[in-house]
Structure 1
């Protein structure tokens, strides 16, 4: 096979609808690893720290996964290859069909076949009108039915249903639109999240985000400048017996300001984002942040402030690590559990009975390590790397504490931790998906296109006026170009009646069509290809 012929063969295979469907299915399968979640397979653009920890825990498997791009699925070369091949396949499949459709729309309906009795539905009978009057009446009937009409001599051809193919083409173009919209959002959009404790503020700059992911063509200058103050976070839970503990309200009361603007009040709720141009701010999570003060053996304050704890269950039992790297002579860390509503049952450990803070209690153990040289390497603030630390012992047992609000615990070396109070935190997501209007518009077009495809009736109908032995008669036949279409027999009978014929309508079996008068006609072969007249 010559190279040109081989390339033509490859192009033909790539642009077939079968290949497009295979690639679409392959794209769905390829997207699965990227959607498994951070606990199973974290993605480097969203959780670089988790990816590093995942690889450190499974070095051999992690190295293989990293080479395969499984930690950045949507940015991997193989995912991009499937995506681009699908786009090329769809374009190569749709463009020729559009050209064929355009030619078909401009062309006249086909001529009348020689054997009308071969059609799925046919009717014949004498007419009381002259040949010219019968053809004129038939043409008017077809035009009134929105048929495209071709008249040649004593014959009429009518065709309807071009909207069905238009719907098919529009549906496939809309798929391209969805892919294009996703591509625009992936290349120019961004998504970042930040945890804000009550009483704090967030400014929309890259340095303020806890995690941030953006497209290849994104520029930091595209971030809309604003500052959001989280003044108060109101949360309420169901306290009745029905749906006890279910969430009833999550609402951020704050202020919002752009450059050189006075802060204005704003409300942020779940599924009710704040819209800022092409960007939006969503409330996607919340939890508790105990406020603690840590002093070292000399009495110097090593840490003071809120610490974000991550909820682990529906009653918001939360895990966190209180780190005091500036404590001397050893740095301190407290591996802790925050319980918003501590169970009062005797002998029960850290167990929450309700998600609201009815009886907040802070539990924990104490760890120490030598002062650390700053390397600039990020670390997980929510977990403790215990390979660097040594657990503090209180005699023969680990040093541990259980603190109510206002209580303190003194470590055997003289350090002290005080549980001052607590606040709520909320997780905000700021995102921009510039391709979203394209996606929504394409989906709307797809729905309309499906309606055109489902309800369109591609149909051809033909009529011929003949004179034989002094008797003028009309022969009418028709066929649907799609299966499961009703009403063809009525259309055939209607055209014959309009041309002045008293007819019997015959179906595909040669018997009179159901519900119509007539006698048995010659057997017809439905589905045979029409023999169009020259």
Structure 2
């Protein structure tokens, strides 16, 4: 047991690095940023597997050793406890006066010894003791539930370790941005980012889809602070499976639970639909563009990439203002997160977008090092400014752009954690076992019939506790009073 406690302490200490440095499984971008900022320290920490703390060799070794130690502790204790449950209470000691809570009860002369022993057994059984008669005495023992609860606690602890070890392999978490009117299918290729255990593949994902029908946000303007305070966010989705549709809603802290997965609402924003045509009037691009919020008023940043259809590859870096106002400096700003006066501005670049190199690119960023800016900034051409429903010509006769409509988007986290049920059940048993073991006392008691002088019968009552038991003396006193039914009780000095 000491080994198990020591390993449990080591496990707690070993988990500390997982909260101090980013983990590849949970924050891969943070790991990359750490490497860029401090490559020398990164090399040392990476050699120690601190960026993969919970799957590292040393953490796994502690975990496995703790499991083995607990099992090695539980098995012999369980065997011993089963034998104790089947065994009779221990025989009455010869000298009860050496034990705690010793009492003498003087009875009237001429009492029947057999009836007295029977009476003693009834008293002990009434108090909850399991009894056995040994000649002129009765032995009792109770509190077996304490050891049973203790074993339940340790079995449940093993259950937590097993649940985490086995369930982690089937656990996954994926993030996806869904625009109003579009659908998402629960498969690996559909996620924007995805982390999972070793046993997760496309076959293990629940086959269903989500379609975002609408998103509603409720705000209250705080006149004292001068900012809008969010009150509620509601995403209405259709859950699609095998040709059937079921409408559900998702709120903050009220996820959509479906077939063992939980869909959490992480964020929201606007995805203006942009249509771009070439000089001949042919549509080369017509999609909603996700603009990522940068502040509480949903001033948002977005990127448009047009690799084909125009004379050159074109990239646009833009800002979206839901409720635009012009500041004294001439810059735009949003004063409210709802689209009361939506305006979009775009800086335009031409050149290589880097999409033909076979290297994955972030759709929410634009690498402009190898591109030429032709609108906005110091180019001499103003940035493209569009209100909802407006169109504008692109510089250099590249074509035109139209701000068609303003759907909203939500970002969701789809999470499946099969460890929750076994760990939750085991945790309940851990608490129940611990609380029970704290309040149940393992106690032994003996009542012995002794023939005194002048044919007077004397009853000896004594007890013994396994562990600290401040209530033992009071319990023996209660047994003596119950037995004597009001007779005078003489305490041994």
Residue 356 of structure 2 is aligned to residue 369 of structure 1? no
Partner of 2:219: 237
CA distance in 1 between partners of 2:246 and 2:323 (Å): 35
Counterparts of 1:469-488 in structure 2 under 5 Å?
A: 469-470=453-454, 471-483=456-468, 485-486=470-471, 488=472
Residue 157 of structure 2 is aligned to residue 189 of structure 1? no
Residue 424 of structure 2 is aligned to residue 445 of structure 1? no
Structure 1 residues 104 and 202: alpha-carbon distance in aligned structure 2, compared to 1, 3 A threshold: same
CA distance in 2 between partners of 1:53 and 1:296 (Å): 39
Structure 2 gap segments, 5+ residues each: none
CA distance in 2 between partners of 1:387 and 1:72 (Å): 34
More divergent stretch after superposition (440-449 vs 409-418):
409-418
Q: Give the C-alpha shift of residue 42 in structure 1.
A: 5.5
Partner of 2:122: 140
* Counterpart among 49, 60, 64 of residue 84 in structure 1: 64
Q: Give the C-alpha shift of residue 364 in structure 1.
A: 4.4
Aligned length: 487
Q: Give the C-alpha shift of residue 375 in structure 1.
A: 3.1
Counterparts of 1:235-384 in structure 2 under 5 Å?
A: 235-239=217-221, 241=223, 245-259=228-242, 261-294=243-276, 301-326=283-308, 328-347=310-329, 349-370=331-352, 372=354, 374-384=356-366
Instruction: Note if contact 1:178-1:438 (Cα within 8 Å) is conserved in structure 2.
Output: yes
Structure 1 residues 423 and 485: alpha-carbon distance in aligned structure 2, compared to 1, 3 A threshold: farther
Counterparts of 1:417-496 in structure 2 under 5 Å?
A: 417-470=401-454, 471-483=456-468, 485-486=470-471, 488-496=472-480
Structure 1 residues 472 and 359: alpha-carbon distance in aligned structure 2, compared to 1, 3 A threshold: same
CA distance in 1 between partners of 2:241 and 2:224 (Å): 44
Q: Give the C-alpha shift of residue 48 in structure 1.
A: 5.1
CA distance in 1 between partners of 2:377 and 2:136 (Å): 113
Structure 1 residues 200 and 126: alpha-carbon distance in aligned structure 2, compared to 1, 3 A threshold: same
CA distance in 1 between partners of 2:233 and 2:330 (Å): 30
Counterparts of 1:19-30 in structure 2 under 5 Å?
A: 19-30=6-17
Counterparts of 1:395-406 in structure 2 under 5 Å?
A: 396=378, 400-406=383-389
**Secondary structure of the structure 1 residue equivalent to 2:329:** coil
- Deviation string 1:201-235 (CA, Å, 9 cap, x unpaired) is 11122211112222212242122222222121122
Q: Give the C-alpha shift of residue 269 in structure 1.
A: 3.1
Instruction: Note if contact 1:367-1:390 (Cα within 8 Å) is conserved in structure 2.
Output: yes
Q: Give the C-alpha shift of residue 30 in structure 1.
A: 4.6
Structure 1 residues 468 and 395: alpha-carbon distance in aligned structure 2, compared to 1, 3 A threshold: closer
CA distance in 2 between partners of 1:469 and 1:380 (Å): 100
Instruction: Note if contact 2:353-2:367 (Cα within 8 Å) is conserved in structure 1.
Output: no
Partner of 2:185: 203
Instruction: Note if contact 1:135-1:155 (Cα within 8 Å) is conserved in structure 2.
Output: yes
Partner of 1:510: none
CA distance in 1 between partners of 2:188 and 2:367 (Å): 27
More divergent stretch after superposition (304-313 vs 51-60):
51-60
- Deviation string 1:126-157 (CA, Å, 9 cap, x unpaired) is 12333322221111111122211132122222
Partner of 1:95: 75
CA distance in 1 between partners of 2:396 and 2:19 (Å): 51
More divergent stretch after superposition (449-458 vs 393-402):
393-402
**Secondary structure of the structure 1 residue equivalent to 2:334:** coil
Instruction: Note if contact 1:493-1:503 (Cα within 8 Å) is conserved in structure 2.
Output: no
Partner of 1:122: 102
Instruction: Note if contact 2:343-2:388 (Cα within 8 Å) is conserved in structure 1.
Output: yes
Structure 1 residues 396 and 444: alpha-carbon distance in aligned structure 2, compared to 1, 3 A threshold: closer
CA distance in 1 between partners of 2:282 and 2:44 (Å): 48
Instruction: Note if contact 1:98-1:169 (Cα within 8 Å) is conserved in structure 2.
Output: yes
CA distance in 2 between partners of 1:66 and 1:295 (Å): 49
